[in-house]
């Protein structure tokens, strides 16, 4: 089940993240370990996330995904070791909330790509997924993911 497609102008969002590469089959472990490292670091510096965790997908090569895994933060923070400090750039973003298993996300991506084309926009090649719960908390049918794509 998918929510409606929205387009919004967003402000730049400071983040703490880890940039890495992984095959799709390794995502649960890679994402979990990255979130854990970032949360431990944030705890050490006395900070908390300012929103849902995310993964940015810079390509869609399922054997060699280029990923940025992280959390939004309230203000720019210093990174440490493999944890980088950067931002999600300001700009125009198309988004949709999807409810269901991660294996079913091809459908909302297809709907969004069609909407973007039908409305005269061009995708910038990055997809962000914000995860509002996890398979450890709820059944797969109840997973909530917001898919966000920058457009021009």
Q: What is Dmax (Cα atoms) for the chain?
A: 47
Give the span between the Cα atoms of 85 and 13, in whole angstroms: 11
Q: Identify the CATH number of the domain in which residue 99 sits.
A: 3.20.80.10
The residues pairing with 2 across neighbouring beta strands, listed in sequence order, are 98
What are the C-alpha distances in Å from 12 to residues 20, 67, 69, 75?
22, 19, 17, 10
Domain presence at residue 83: yes
Domain hosting residue 103, numbered range: 6-151
Question: What pLDDT score does 125 carry?
Answer: 87
Domain presence at residue 19: yes
Give the span between the Cα atoms of 15 and 82, in whole angstroms: 14
Domain presence at residue 45: yes
Domain presence at residue 98: yes
Domain presence at residue 1: no
The stretches of the chain forming alpha helices (DSSP H) are 27-44, 106-118
| Tally of domains in the chain | 1
3-state secondary structure of 76: coil
Tens digits of per-residue pLDDT, 73-122?
999 999 999 999 999 999 999 999 999 999 999 999 999 999 999 999 99
Q: What is the pTM of this model?
A: 0.94
């Amino acid at each position: 089940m998918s929510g409606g497609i929205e387009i919004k102008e967003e402000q730049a969002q400071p983040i703490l993240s880890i940039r890495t590469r992984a095959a799709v089959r390794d995502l649960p472990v890679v994402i979990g370990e990255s979130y854990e490292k970032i949360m431990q670091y944030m705890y050490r510096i006395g900070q908390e996330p300012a929103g849902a965790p995310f993964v940015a997908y810079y390509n869609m090569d399922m054997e060699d995904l280029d990923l940025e895994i992280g959390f939004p933060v309230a203000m720019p923070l210093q990174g440490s070791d493999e944890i980088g400090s950067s931002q999600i750039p300001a700009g125009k973003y198309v988004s949709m909330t999807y409810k269901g298993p991660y294996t079913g996300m091809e459908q909302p991506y297809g709907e969004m790509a069609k909407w973007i084309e039908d409305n005269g926009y061009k995708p910038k090649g990055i997809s962000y997924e914000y995860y509002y719960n996890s398979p450890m908390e709820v059944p797969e049918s109840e997973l909530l993911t917001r898919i966000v794509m920058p457009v021009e």
